[in-house]
Structure 1
Amino acid sequence: MTSNLQQAVLNKDFLVTAEVAPPKGGNPARMLEVAEKLKGRVHAVNVTDGSRAVLRMSSVAASVILQQHNIEPVCQVACRDRNCLGLQADLMGAYALGVRNVLALTGDPIKAGDHTKSRGVFELESVRLLKLISKLNSGFDFNDKTMPDESLDLFPGAAVDPQLKSVSGLQKRFEKKLEAGAEFFQSQMITDFDKLDKFMSQIACVSNKPILAGIFLLKSAKNAQFINKYVPGVDIPESTIERLGNAENPLQEGVKIAAEQVELAKTMCQGVHMMAVKREDLIPEILSLAGIEPIAVK
């Protein structure tokens, strides 16, 4: 069965995804409430897998819950917490329960999160995970043994950071992920659109796979300064911070800035990946301001 996201890729539509965190506990009500507001505005909802190494519900379980409520997920799968055996088991289970889109990630380091005494696994990293997914899709396990109970048909994606300082490193990693089977790419938060433009024209141009620019809702000057200080590789321009600081309503100014960035992304790449931590309800407004039409829901 072709997912909505996969069909939109085939149709060469402008793609829209949005990130939602699973619950920290056993009640998915808030996650569902947030995701419901994104219906008809995004092709799929990304479900994070222990983002920043902070404890939350399994991304597989959360993705299945969304699927049961007619909300298409992109299930993030990180290598940090599971060995090869566990990763394969989860991918098979997710597929059997109806999940089709997966985003292959290495995972944030344990020391970044709230369980710093835990041990990371990292038996695989994102490129090897993509290769593993390709094997499972072909009917073979990690050991190249035939799977007697049928192959999978997952639609795998990968992360990319067009703002990496090493252009050669960025190109090498991107090409490895392409070769390993990535069908779409979602970028980290974009703050330098000149670098995104260069990435699209100099590196991504070798591929026909869609790139979704990461658009992050900044809520205030303080929020932007915090991100600059604590999120590696992010450099929000001082002009943006001043604009937020001088605004009568910083949150609404952040919405305008995000909409402007979506409009910029439309001229450069094939989609956007929206991130609005704890204010996902504002994503439809951002998309409307940017002139992104609602999406027909099956």
Structure 2
Amino acid sequence: MGSALKCALEAGGIAVTAEVMPPRGGDPSHSLAMAACLKGRVHAINVTDGSRAVMRMSSLALCRLLLDAGLEPVFQMACRDRNRIALQADLLGAHALGIRNLLCLTGDPVRAGDQQEARPVNEFESIKLLNQVSAFNRGQDPVAGALPDGATELFPGCAADPQCPSWTGLQRRLTRKQEAGARFIQTQMVMDPDALERFQRELAGPMQMPVLAGVFLLKSAKNAMFINRVVPGASIPDHLVRRLAESRDPAAEGIAIAAEQVKRYLGLVQGVHLMAVKAEDRIPRILDLASLSLQPA
């Protein structure tokens, strides 16, 4: 089973992904309905894995349900909650289920979530996880010898923050991720196009790593201030908060801001990744305003 996302990125064309959050419960119907709105508009749908250290349905389970619905998933894997044996099992299980795209993450700290008594594992972090994916793709067993049924065909990506205050640290870690086998970069939300341009010019471009720039839908000034307060690494500038506060229709203004970012970022990098928490059905409107229409490969 191939990957439309991989084909788009390797062909050098525009690539578009969007994010869907699993439910906080056992019924996936709402998440699937939100994902259905994106059919034909994106190459793949990224399913979060315990984002902000909050309990949600398994990313692996929802990814398989997306495949059943004819939608290509990106399986997020966070290292926070599982040891290497569990991560290895989920990688092989994802491959068996037909899931090919991966986003390898360390994971938000437990202190960011609502169950702070939980015990993090953190035996692996994103680079070690990428190394494990690469080993499976070479057909290597983690203990000795070769996998008995041959190599996997997983397509792994990594995360990066172009607005990271430590540029040398960002460069060093991104280099290690590429060396570990990352094939594409999905950024955190980007609110500063100059930072994204520098990231592409000085890091991703010379490394020949395709970038999906994170575009986050803001719903109101209050929502923007909340995101700044609770989301690790978020930095929504004051001028956007004011723009939302002064708008007669903050929801529509947020869509307009996101569409402007899509158009601007596609002039800098190869693709975009759209995040619209609990409002995924607004993503097609963002793409329409950005005059972006494509058919997945």
1:119 maps to 119
Structure 2: give runs of 5+ residues left out of the alignment. Answer: none
| Partner in structure 1 of residue 39 of structure 2 | 39
Corresponding residue for residue 81 of structure 2: 81
| Runs of 5+ unmatched residues, structure 1 | none
Indicate whether 1:159 and 2:155 are aligned.
no
TM-score (structure 2 length as normaliser): 0.97
Q: Distance in 2 between matches of 1:98 and 1:111?
A: 34
1:178 partnered with 2:178: yes
Q: Is the 8 A contact 1:158 1:177 kept in 2?
A: yes
- The letter for the 2-side match of 1:240 is L
**By how many angstroms is 1:2 displaced?**
2.2
Pair 1:23 & 2:20 matched = no
Looking at structure 2, the residues matched to 7 and 178 of structure 1 have their Cα atoms a distance apart, in angstroms, of 19
Q: Contact 1:132–1:141 at 8 Å: present in 2 too?
A: no
Give distance in 2, aligned partners of 1:50 and 1:234: 18
Give per-residue Cα distances to partners, 1:22-65, cap 9 Å, x unaligned: 12222110011000000011100001111111111111111011
* Inter-partner Cα distance in structure 2 for 1:21 and 1:234: 18
2:214 maps to 1:241: no
Say if 1:46 and 1:73, in contact at 8 Å, map to a contact too.
Answer: yes
Name the CA shift for 1:144/1:131 in 2 (closer, same or farther; >3 Å).
farther
Report Cα offsets for 1:170-193 as digits up to 9, x if no partner.
Answer: 100111111111111100010111
AA aligned to 2:64 is: V
Q: Specify the SS of the correspondent of 1:219.
A: coil
Q: Write the deviation string for residues 70-128 of structure 1: whole angstroms up to 9, x where unpaired.
A: 11000001111111111010110111011000110001111211221111110010011
* Contact 2:185/2:210 (8 A) holds in 1: yes
Are residue 129 (structure 1) and residue 122 (structure 2) matched? no
Q: C-alpha distance in 2, partners of 1:175/1:276?
A: 29
Give the TM-score taking structure 1 as reference length: 0.97
Q: Per the alignment, in what secondary structure is the counterpart of residue 224 of structure 1?
A: helix
Q: Matches of 2:199 and 2:146 in 1, distance apart?
A: 39
C-alpha distance in 2 between matches for 1:151 and 1:138: 5
Q: In the alignment, is the contact (CA less than 8 A) between 2:52 and 2:231 conserved in 1?
A: no
Query: What displacement does 1:207 show?
Result: 1.9
Query: What letter matches 1:22 in structure 2?
Result: P
| Paired position in structure 1 for 2:207 | 207
Q: Secondary structure at the match of 2:152?
A: coil
Cα separation, partners in 2 of 1:202 and 1:69, compared to 1, 3 Å: same
The answer for the alignment partner of 1:101 in structure 2 is 101
Alpha-carbon distance in 1 for matches of 2:72, 2:66: 7
Equivalent residue, structure 2, for 1:278: 278
| CA–CA distance in structure 1, aligned partners of residues 27 and 152 of structure 2 | 29
The list of structure 1 runs, each at least 4 consecutive aligned residues, that deviate by more than 6 angstroms after superposition, is: none
The CA distance in 1 between the partners of 2:112 and 2:159, in whole Å, is 19
Count of matched residue pairs: 297
Give the CA RMSD over aligned residues.
1.1
CA distance in 1, matches of 2:144, 2:101: 23
Q: State how far apart, in whole Å, the 2-side matches of 1:272 and 1:68 are.
A: 25
What is the DSSP-based 3-state SS (H/G/I as helix, E as strand, rest coil) of the residue aligned with 2:75? strand
